[in-house]
Each structure stands twice: as structure tokens, then as C-alpha cells.
């Protein structure tokens, strides 16, 4: 009985121990939770303190920014007041400058100027294009005086400088002249030549500001200059005729370049050998440069952010810094060029001929001279038409009869066979044997379009040639060729051809229409 009671007591104690252990574990867990909560409370207190400090800082910054905004508002109002005051003074100065009399008169760039510049009125827009803003006659006169004094300074320096004299002599030695006493060319090592040539060459620019050459000769002329940037400024004229690779050597040797040309005139002449080389080396890098129409001018235009876009038959051409004031020729040559090539953005400023000059022209007006006939060759290789040649000869003979000198007259044709046929016909005339003027004129004044780029004459005969057997050749003639031919003529442009043949070209349909409109008096003479 006693042992059972003791066992029951032990069992009760074991249950109490289990309960105490479980409660102890619960107490320990609660203790850990309490400690965790205390740590979180401490963290929240720290955060609260941080946010209170940040709130105070931001409140201070807000107050400072509000004060700054108020100050800036006051400054803005003061600046606007100042701008209004100075704007009034500026407008007054502009009005005063634009109303100055005599050689102090000045064209100012005000709202009225830009209104006229963008005006649809041809006279107003032309006046704005031809203006020279911010310059006066007095200022230009002082510039001329300064330039004259600079020339005198250059002269005095050259005459007084022994170093310049020796540089000129040494440059002549490098160029192979003069020779030594034994009549032998002075020998100079390649190293010395390359070290000295750049400096010697640049000395020449003290004597003359410009040296001219062709790309064909530039390689030989500049071969001793090996370092980049040894030449100051390179001016590339008629850049539309030069293939891009032709300019690389010259551009490498100069510090800056001015590229002048017209992509709407004669395109580069690419030889068969060069064309073959382009095809052989074609790859992913060179494929963009394969076109025969690429030119130095075209590449320079792509680099120029200032310009305009010409559109022709859906094709766009970007042109940098176009000069739109036209002073080369009168109607209808101006309209032929402006309508066919330049989207009618040019402004006419050519002075018309006087009565005395008018009396010396072959015909009263420019126009199409209709002459039928057949080519010399039925195979389509010789495009010369004798009947058209005789019509041209009559105009040439009349031009020589009207002057004692050599007439200002060109005969231009798209085809070498027409050029050769015309020269042969003239040489067969009795006048050719007796008139030295005609012999001198024929060598310089009859040729293809490509040979007359950059030249001009009072009158131009555009001798077309061709018959119905040469329609591919008719369609080959493009706007660039017509543009160059027409703009060589200052006052008269005579197109000799068979329109029943040339009407197969949409271009010459437009040419005929423009010439006929001029004949009807739709275009003014200037």
C-alpha cells in the first residue's frame, strides 16, 4: 500500500517536472521574443530620431529653396525689365543703322529682313538674298585700306628677308633649276628633301597667296610633303567633276579645305581601268563607293549640315551651302537651269546686254532651230548631221562677219563625233584658209560639254546631231549636260536639232517647252 502511494507520488512529481520544463521552455521563448522586440523598439527609436532630423533638415532646405525662388523671381523680373529696356535700345539702334545715309547705310537683320527673305514675292526674296548684312560702304573701304597695308607689309618683309630669298633659291634647286656649273641637276637626298620641302613650299605663299594645279599634277607637285597638315588651306574648284579618291593626297597634306562645285553639272569622268579596279576590289566596305557619279563635291556636301535638297525624278540630292543668286545668264538659259536642275530656288540677277551688244548677236532671240537630217553613219556611231552642221556654220559665219575680232561664241555638243564633224566641215570652207581668226577660234570654241565646264560666252550653239537610229544616245543626254551647255551662254542660246527625234527624251520635251515659252515672250530678259 505504501509502495503504491510512493509510486503515485513519483509519477505526480514526474508530471510536475515535465510541466515545469515545458513552462521553462515557454519562458525562454518569451524571453527571446521580448529581447527581439526590445531590439526592434530600439531600432524604431533610432529611425524615428533619424527621420526627425531629416524632417528638420528638409524643412530648412524647403525654407531656403523658397527664399531662393523668391530671389530668382525678383531677379527674373529685373532681367525681363532690363531685356525690355535693352530690346528697345536694340530696336532703336537697328532703325538708326538702317536709316543711315550715304556710305554709312547698313542692311540689318531685323524682322522685316527675314519677312522679305522668306517671302513668296520674287523681288523681295531676291533683294534679301543679294543683301550684305551688317556692312557699310565706309567699313568695306577701311577693309580695303587694311588689305593694301598688309600687302605693303608682305612686300617689305620679302624684300628685307634674306631667309625668304634663300628659301626660294633652295626650292628652285629641289625643283631641278638652276643647275650647277657643270649643267647638272643638284642632287638632294630624299630625307633632306622631305624635311625641307614643306617649309620651303610654304614660303612661296608669302610671295603669292595662291598656287594652282590639277589633281593629275598634285601628286608630283606635293610628293615631297609626307607629313599631314603642312599646307594651310586647300581650295578644290569644280569639285563635282573630281572622283573622291583624286583628292585624298591633297586633303591629307592640308589643315583645312574649301570645296566648291555643283553636283548638277558635269559628273566625274571614270576611266574603264578605274571602273575595272572598283569591280575587282568590291566588298562590304567599298560597295557604298562604287557609283561613277560620286564626287569630291558630293562627299563634302554630306558632311555639311547647312544646305538644301534638290529633287529630280523622285531622287533627292543634298547640297551644302547653295549659292542661289544667279549672275551668269539671262532668259531662257536661266529658266532652263533653274527649272531643270535647281527646283526653281535660284534668283535672277544677271544684267541684260545693252543695245550695242544686242546688235552683234546672230539672232534676235534664243530658241530651238529645227533642222531635219540623217547621221553620217547608219550604224549610229557618228551622230553628226550635215544639215544641222550647215545651220550652225551659217550662224558662225554671221558672228565673224559682225565683228573684227574673234566672236564670243561656243559650239557645244554632247557627242565627240558631232564635234569632229563640225570641225571638219568648217575646215572645208574657203573662209577657213583665209581667215586666221577662224583658225584660232575653232581650236578653243568647239567641243563637248565636258570641255566647257567653267567657261562662258555671249552666244552658244548647242548642236545636238542624231537621227532616229540613235534614240539610245538621245536618252543618254541628261539634265547635267543640258545645264552646263545652257549656262555657258550669257545672252543667246541656240539649240540646233531635229525635234521629231529629240522629243523621244522627256528632258528635251521640257527644254523645247521652255524655249518656246521664251519665244512667246513669257520669260523676261532679266
Per the CB < 8 A criterion, the answer to whether 345 and 311 are in contact is no
The answer on pLDDT for 523 being more than 60 is no
**Would you state the pLDDT for residue 24?**
84
Mean pLDDT of 26-30: 86
Domain residue ranges of the chain, discontinuous segments joined by +: 1-96, 141-327, 333-518
Per residue in 118-160, pLDDT (tens digit) is: 887 888 888 888 888 888 888 999 999 999 999 999 899 999 9
At residue 48 the predicted structure's pLDDT band, cuts being 50, 70 and 90, is confident
The answer on pLDDT for 5 being more than 80 is no
Q: Which of 121-135, 228-242, 439-453, 483-497 has the highest mean pLDDT?
A: 483-497
The answer on pLDDT for 38 being more than 90 is no
Mean pLDDT of 433-445: 92
**Would you state the pLDDT for residue 281?**
67
SS3 322: coil
**Would you state the pLDDT for residue 522?**
64
Cell, residue 178: 638652276
The answer on pLDDT for 488 being more than 80 is yes
Mean pLDDT of 197-223: 89
Per residue in 74-87, pLDDT (tens digit) is: 999 999 888 888 87
Mean pLDDT of 230-258: 90
Residues 250-256: contacts with CB under 8 Å, at least 24 apart: 250/215, 250/218, 250/222, 252/228, 253/222, 253/225, 253/227, 253/228, 253/229, 254/229, 255/229, 255/231, 256/232
Q: What is the mean pLDDT of the chain?
A: 87
* CATH number for domain 333-518, candidates 3.40.50.261, 3.40.1190.20, 3.40.50.300, 3.20.190.10: 3.40.50.300
Alpha helices in 175-247 (DSSP H): 190-207, 215-221
Lowest average pLDDT, out of 104-113, 204-213, 490-499, goes to 104-113
The answer on pLDDT for 292 being more than 80 is no
Mean pLDDT of 206-229: 89
Amino acid at each position: 500500500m505504501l509502495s503504491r502511494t510512493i509510486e503515485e507520488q513519483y509519477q505526480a512529481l514526474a508530471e510536475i517536472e515535465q510541466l515545469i520544463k515545458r513552462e521553462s521552455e515557454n519562458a525562454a521563448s518569451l524571453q527571446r521574443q521580448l529581447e527581439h522586440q526590445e531590439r526592434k523598439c530600439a531600432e524604431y527609436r533610432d529611425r524615428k530620431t533619424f527621420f526627425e532630423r531629416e524632417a528638420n533638415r528638409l524643412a530648412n532646405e524647403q525654407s531656403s529653396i523658397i527664399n531662393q525662388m523668391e530671389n530668382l523671381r525678383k531677379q527674373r523680373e529685373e532681367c525681363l525689365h532690363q531685356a525690355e529696356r535693352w530690346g528697345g535700345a536694340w530696336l532703336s539702334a537697328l532703325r538708326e543703322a538702317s536709316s543711315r545715309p550715304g556710305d554709312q547705310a547698313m542692311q540689318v537683320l531685323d524682322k522685316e529682313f527675314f519677312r522679305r527673305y522668306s517671302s513668296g514675292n520674287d523681288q523681295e526674296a531676291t533683294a534679301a538674298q543679294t543683301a550684305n548684312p551688317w556692312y557699310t560702304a565706309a567699313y568695306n573701304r577701311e577693309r580695303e585700306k587694311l588689305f593694301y597695308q598688309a600687302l605693303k607689309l608682305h612686300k617689305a618683309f620679302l624684300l628685307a628677308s634674306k631667309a625668304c630669298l634663300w628659301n626660294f633659291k633652295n626650292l628652285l634647286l629641289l625643283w631641278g633649276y638652276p643647275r650647277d656649273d657643270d649643267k647638272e641637276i643638284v642632287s638632294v637626298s630624299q630625307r633632306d628633301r622631305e624635311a625641307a620641302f614643306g617649309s620651303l613650299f610654304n614660303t612661296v605663299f608669302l610671295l603669292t597667296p595662291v598656287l594652282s594645279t590639277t589633281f593629275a599634277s598634285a601628286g608630283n607637285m606635293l610628293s615631297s610633303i609626307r607629313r599631314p597638315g603642312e599646307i594651310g588651306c586647300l581650295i578644290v574648284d569644280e569639285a563635282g567633276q573630281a572622283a573622291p579618291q583624286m583628292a585624298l593626297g591633297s586633303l591629307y597634306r592640308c589643315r583645312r579645305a574649301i570645296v566648291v562645285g555643283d553636283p548638277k553639272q558635269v559628273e566625274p569622268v571614270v576611266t574603264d581601268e578605274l571602273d575595272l579596279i572598283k569591280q575587282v576590289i568590291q566588298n562590304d566596305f567599298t560597295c557604298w563607293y562604287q557609283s561613277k557619279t560620286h564626287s569630291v563635291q558630293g562627299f563634302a556636301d554630306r558632311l555639311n549640315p547647312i544646305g538644301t535638297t534638290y529633287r529630280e525624278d523622285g531622287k533627292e540630292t543634298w547640297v551644302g551651302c547653295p549659292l542661289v543668286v544667279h549672275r551668269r545668264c539671262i532668259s531662257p538659259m536661266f529658266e532652263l537651269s533653274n527649272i531643270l536642275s535647281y527646283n526653281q530656288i535660284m534668283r535672277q540677277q544677271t544684267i541684260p546686254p545693252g543695245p550695242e551688244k544686242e546688235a552683234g548677236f546672230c539672232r534676235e532671240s534664243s530658241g530651238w532651230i529645227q533642222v531635219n537630217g540623217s547621221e553620217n553613219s547608219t550604224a549610229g556611231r557618228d551622230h553628226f548631221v550635215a544639215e544641222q552642221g550647215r545651220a550652225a556654220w551659217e550662224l558662225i559665219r554671221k558672228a565673224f562677219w559682225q565683228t573684227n575680232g574673234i566672236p564670243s561664241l561656243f559650239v557645244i555638243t554632247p557627242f565627240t563625233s558631232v564635234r569632229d564633224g563640225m570641225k571638219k566641215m568648217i575646215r572645208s570652207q574657203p573662209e577657213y584658209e583665209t581667215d586666221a581668226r577662224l583658225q584660232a577660234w575653232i581650236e578653243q570654241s568647239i567641243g563637248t560639254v565636258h570641255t566647257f565646264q567653267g567657261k562662258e560666252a555671249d552666244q552658244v550653239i548647242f548642236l545636238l546631231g542624231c537621227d532616229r537610229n540613235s534614240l539610245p544616245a538621245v536618252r543618254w543626254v541628261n539634265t547635267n549636260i543640258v545645264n552646263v551647255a545652257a549656262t555657258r551662254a550669257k545672252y543667246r542660246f541656240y539649240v540646233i536639232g531635229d525635234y521629231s527625234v529629240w522629243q523621244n527624251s522627256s528632258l528635251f520635251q521640257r527644254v523645247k517647252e521652255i524655249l518656246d515659252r521664251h519665244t512667246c515672250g513669257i520669260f523676261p530678259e532679266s
